[in-house]
Amino acid sequence: MTNRAHTVPAGLDGIRTHLEEVYQDLHRHPELGLREHRTAGKVSGALRSFGYEVTDGVGGTGVIGVLENGDGPTVMARADMDALPVREQTGLPYASTATVPAPDGTE
């Protein structure tokens, strides 16, 4: 009997670079809650590129991806896509340079 737990990570090696690019792009371009239109588009596109059936606009900017692969256990995952209004000081090459104005309009 094959242990599927060992085949899944091996299958991810082929898409690792693409996943890292998506992660870094989303990190570089953060969006606050209910404003994450660009983020939702990127996530939608990535899921579609991997063969998921995608529903966009759930609750405004939410995305649902379903991958049918036959009978067997069902796996579900959930993730937040919104960013927090913080000034990033990590020094990473893909660090966000976005700023969020204060209520009075200053940054």
Q: What is the pLDDT of residue 6?
A: 56
Mean of per-residue pLDDT scores for the chain: 87
Q: Which domains does the chain have, with CATH numbers?
A: 1-107 (3.40.630.10)
Furthest-apart CA pair in the chain: how many Å? 63
| Adjacent-strand bridge partners of 63 | 56
pTM for this entry: 0.79
Task: For residue range 25-66, list pLDDT tens digits in order.
Answer: 999 999 999 999 999 999 999 999 989 999 999 999 999 999
Closest CA to 26 of 80, 89, 87: 80
